[in-house]
A and B are shown apart, each in its own frame.
Chain A
Amino acid sequence: MTATGTITLESVTKHFPGGVVAVDNLSLEVQPGEFLVLVGPSGCGKTTALRMVAGLEPVTDGQIRINDRVVTRLPPRDRDIAMVFQNYALYAHMTVRNNMAFGLKMARMPKDEIRRRVDEAAVMLGLTELLNRKPRQLSGGQRQRVAMGRAIVREPSAFLMDEPLSNLDAKLRVEMRGEIIRVQRRIAAPTLYVTHDQTEAMTMGDRVAILRDGLLQQLGTPDQVYDRPVNAFVAGFIGSPSMNLLPAGLEADGDGCAISVGGARLAAPKLLEQRPALRGYLGKPVTLGIRPEDFGADGEDGEIEVTVARLESLGSELVAYLAPAGMAADTLLTARLERRAALTEGSATRVNVDVDRLYFFDPESGAALT
């Protein structure tokens, strides 16, 4: 199927009674065939945004277009969308077949066409054997598939998904991730997918939109938001384990500069050339960001003196929680190290960081300094 259709939000705002601004001036566009993930912590407004697109929540201000048609004030049935809900929202009194056929029946589609589409979707999702069952006779994963099936038989202009995987166990979640992507690629309709799980966002999204307190923080491909977060919030939210964010200072050091963090002093001769924005922060505090995988366990040559507080072996790698010398007692750095790194809990050691891969943020605004 060729990819067509877009979902456009233009300055969409939602005020709830009592003055809560759930979504603040949100603008984004889901491209034809694109899988766009709206991610953020709970209460950030992502579900409200999705419900506004679905027409389940009135829009306070702004415009929503689906396939270039303004739908801001249209009821859900006139928007030509399909939605998959977190708790599946199946019709408990209907069989799987009737659940999937319901929307088509409402659209007064001919019976044989309904049958053909439901059968086709059932094959795609492996539901053929289950068509005559009731939802309560199905497992969580099967219900999730039925919910998907109900959405795809409609062949809508746009898909909306509200945390569809959060009720599944970890293994099934990984499996269904792949399945949803496979089905979406095949249907090729623009999809807006809401989740609080950054791993889902990173693994599934063509692009990721990060929302916080109703405000869009950053919109970009998974690589962009991971490598070039626009602020400390995005930096800390995306990535698992999350980025270490520490108070640090910049000092002039000959032609270049040095970063003082805790008791350590990292020489960074070319830093100011590479990141001109940092020039104004000489002698001032900054927030330093270090990705866990950017630590190296170099033993004696390391620049940062740490005590190993705790080790978690994941088999393929080692996650170490390190207490740096000269910093607040409860500060722990998370480091992803090679599993061969010879560390023991409670011992003192030194670790290294690659200065080129550090992140800097304004301590007040959180904005990235590049």
Chain B
Amino acid sequence: MTTTLGMRVLKALAVTLIVVWSLAPIVLGVTTSLSTQREVNEGPSHWFPHHPTTQAYRALIGGTTGEHSGGTVTQRGEFVQSMWVSAELALLSASLTLVVATMAAYAFGRLRFRFGGFLLAVLVGTMVVPIFVVVIALFKLMANAHLIDTKKGLVLVFVATLTPLATWLLYTQVREMPAEPEEAALIDGCRRWQAFVRVVIPQMSSGIAAVAAILALSVWGEFLIPLLLTQTQNAKPVTVLITEYVGKYTTNYPILAAGGVLALIPPALLALALNKRITGMLAGS
């Protein structure tokens, strides 16, 4: 390497800035969640709580009684339930999307069929239509189908909106993958679907894992669609629930922050677990 000292310092500085920029809100969230409402409201504000407490977490999970809640009311079990709903939505939507998208990507990438290119273009083209444009129609559709406030309704919408992206990402992977191993499998006695299951899918596993992570993370973070399509705890994900902790007159910031911190943990774990696969795919291995 012929980088000069100056360049290296600059690089280190840039990396530090990016890390600080990304981590600062999280650190702030964690410290706020460990503070009391009184301390948060005190001025001048400080980075670390003088009297750290897990009161906010207890309130979040165990429920609040009016007096310490500072304008925020939480029901016992509500938060945990919403976390489960979020997990269920992420898992179901990501898996169903993957089933559809992997097969679609393979078909578009490998099989010759009439209007294949056109269909792919249409599918990918739907990505440019923002969901807001169709939101009213979507609401009516879901209402008519009695799918408002149900998890399966949300899963349906997520699968429909994520399939184009997933298909496109996996399609590029199929195109870059050599065709010979599956041809070898066809000669070795496989039917097309057997070659797909036994040779193509293992070959695509890094890509599938990476796309799975992208899908699960984006469902976990989804806010607008569940806000619109859910009314009760029945199907309310954690992203929607947390906003309800913002009171009309006052907000208990430690509880709000605690909710945010807990909601971060599952996606962080997922990203960590699949990190190697994702970078592997990006490095083309």
Contacts and interface: CB of A to CB of B under 8 A. Distances in A.
A27 B178 CA distance: 30
Interface in A59-99: 75-77, 79, 81-83, 85-93
Interface residues of A, number: 25
A92 B205 CA distance: 11
B274 interface: no
Contacts of A86: 180
Given A56-B186, A89-B183, A77 B203 contact: no
Contact of B189 (A89, A90, A93, A106): A106
Nearest to A103: B188
Contacts of A107: 189
B187 A77 contact: yes
B190 A106 contact: yes
B275 interface: no
Nearest to A84: B184
Contacts of B183: 54, 56, 76, 83, 85, 89
Contacts of A154: 188
A82 B186 CA distance: 10
A281 interface: no
A150 interface: yes
A226 interface: no
A93 B178 contact: no
A89 B194 contact: no
Nearest to A75: B186
Interface string A26-56: 0000000000000000000000000000111
Interface residues of B, number: 18
Contact of A102 (B180, B188, B191): B188
B281 to A, nearest CB: 14
B247 interface: no
Contacts of A93: 202-203, 205
Given A85-B180, A106-B194, A91 B199 contact: yes
Interface in B169-200: 178, 180-181, 183-191, 194, 198-199
Contacts of B178: 87, 89
B187 A83 contact: yes
Given A55-B186, A83-B184, A89-B180, 20 more contacts: A54-B187, A56-B187, A76-B183, A76-B186, A77-B189, A77-B190, A77-B191, A81-B187, A82-B187, A85-B184, A86-B180, A87-B178, A88-B180, A89-B183, A92-B181, A93-B202, A103-B187, A106-B189, A150-B184, A154-B188
Closest 6 pairs (CB-CB, A-B):
A89-B180, A106-B189, A103-B188, A93-B202, A89-B184, A76-B186
Interface of B: 178, 180-181, 183-191, 194, 198-199, 202-203, 205
